[in-house]
Amino acid sequence: MIGRVLAVNRSDIRGVVKTNVGEGYLRKNWGLVGDAHAGAWDRQVSIFPIEAMEFIPPDKKETVDIDGYTENITIQGISLDDLAVGACLRIGKAEVLILHIGKEHPKDEGRPFIVSRQGRFGTVTKGGAVRVGDPVEIVGK
C-alpha cells in the first residue's frame, strides 16, 4: 500500500500552529530541520494520517481546523492498522520508525485533540528530503 504526503509542516516555536512549507529535510536522529520539536529524543517527528479524522467525536468536529497543522507530516492512503508502533515508514527519501501513537496527555480541543490521540511519533532512521506529493510506504515492522 502506498500513500502520499499531503503537507510538510513546521514551526520554530513550540505550542503554535505549524505552517505547511511544502517541503523539508528530515535529519537522521533529529527530526524536521527548522522545527521546534526536532531533537535527540523519541518524538523527533510527528505524522498524522488524515484518515484518523473520522475518529473526531461530533461535539469536537467544529473545533478542528483542517489546515491548522500541529504535526510535521500529514499523510493519506496508509491503513491506520499498518501505522502501528514498530512500523518503519519511507516518506519521500527519509525513513521514520514509529515509536508512539498519541501523547501521554491528550488535548481537549482543536486539531491537537485528534493528533494527540491518533498522531504517530517517532525517530528519523534515515535522513532525506520530504515534499508534498511524495510517496509514503511501510518498509518494515
Looking at residue 88, which CATH number applies to its domain?
2.40.33.20
Q: Which residue has the cell 491506520?
A: 80
Give the chain's domain count.
Answer: 1
pLDDT-derived band at 68, boundaries 50, 70, 90: confident
pLDDT tens for residues 93-124? 999 999 999 998 888 888 888 899 999 999 99
pLDDT-derived band at 81, boundaries 50, 70, 90: very high
Rounded Cα–Cα distance for residues 27 and 17 (Å): 22
pLDDT tens for residues 2-61? 999 999 999 999 988 999 999 999 999 999 999 999 999 999 999 999 999 898 888 888
The residue ranking higher by pLDDT, 104 or 125, is: 125
pLDDT at 62: 81
Say whether pLDDT at 137 is over 80. yes
Question: What is the SS3 assignment for 118?
Answer: helix
Look up the pTM and report it: 0.94
pLDDT-derived band at 82, boundaries 50, 70, 90: very high
Range of the domain at 13: 2-140
Question: What is the SS3 assignment for 81?
Answer: helix
Contact 138, 87 (CB under 8 A): yes
Name the CA dihedral angle for 40, 129, 6, 12, rounded to a multiple of 10 degrees: 40
pLDDT at 66: 66
